[in-house]
Structure 1
Amino acid sequence: MELTAGRIYTVRLCSGELRRWRFDGQDGRGFAWWHDVDTGMGFSEAGLLYAWELLQEDEDGG
């Protein structure tokens, strides 16, 4: 799946919890940046301390 900056995707955390994350794009080092829609927190994939799985793009697309 090719990610689109500004779109919201559903992800499943290793705990089984489903979250909605907006993909903010990649930085100059190639790290993908995300924004948790529910918590308002931004983060890069390099800083995640748990496993997760991208499930789908949300119907509304953000």
Structure 2
Amino acid sequence: MIPQLDRVYVIELCSGELRRWRFLGPGHRESVWWRDEETGRTFSEASLMYVWEIVAEA
């Protein structure tokens, strides 16, 4: 699944935990950005230290 800008997706972490992340799109230096809808934290894919996958659009 290719994420679309400003849409929320259900993400499954390698631990099996499900999260809701909003796709913010590419930023500078080709980083791809997301925001965790529960915590409000914004992060780039490059900063993630665990395996995850998009399960569905929320």
Q: After TM superposition, is the score higher than 0.5?
A: yes
The residue that corresponds to 2:10 in the other structure is 10
Deviation at 1:56, TM superposition (A): 1.1
Length-normalised TM-score, structure 1: 0.86
Q: Map 1:19-58; keep pairs closer than 5 Å.
A: 19-58=19-58
Superposed CA offset, 1:21-45 (max 9, x none): 0000101322210000001100000
Length-normalised TM-score, structure 2: 0.91
CA RMSD after TM alignment: 0.9
Gaps of 5+ in 1: none
Aligned residue pairs, count: 58
User: How far, CA to CA, are the matches of 1:24 and 1:10 in structure 2?
Assistant: 14
Aligned residues with identical type, % of pairs = 52
User: How far, CA to CA, are the matches of 2:16 and 2:4 in structure 1?
Assistant: 24
Q: Which runs of 4+ in 1 moved over 2 A?
A: none
Superposed CA offset, 1:1-52 (max 9, x none): 2211110000001110000000001013222100000011000000001111
